[in-house]
Amino acid sequence: MIRACAVSELPEGEALRLPGPVPVSVFHSEGAYYALDDTCSHQDASLADGWIEGCYVECPLHAARFDLRTGAPDCLPAKNPVRTYPVVIADDVIYVDTEARREVA
């Protein structure tokens, strides 16, 4: 598991990009935490830089939207999903389990 940050460091409606071979973004929305591949499946843009509304993040480049819960695209131009990852909260710290990534069919 990868340590993302303390719970207090990720306010509601914000996102955090975790660099790595495959960058991952952690989102705090509607009282829950979600983790997705950071790169939009349509074109190379960071989803952490996008706009969060409810359980969706909108890519800042071409406005594709992804469901934070499933990684599925909600509208064009994205046609392919992004992977999601389990998020674990322990001792007020947010962790992302990148080994247990979920593929969306």
pLDDT, tens digit, for every residue of 31-47?
Answer: 999 999 999 999 989 99
Note the pLDDT of residue 100: 75
* pLDDT over 60 (residue 105): no
* pLDDT over 80 (residue 101): no
Per the prediction, the chain carries an average pLDDT of 94
HEC-encoded secondary structure of the chain: CEEEEEHHHCCCCCEEEECCCCCEEEEEECCEEEEEECECCCCCCEHHHCEEECCEEECCCCCCEEECCCCCECCCCCCCCCCEECEEEECCEEEECHHHCECCC
* pTM score: 0.92
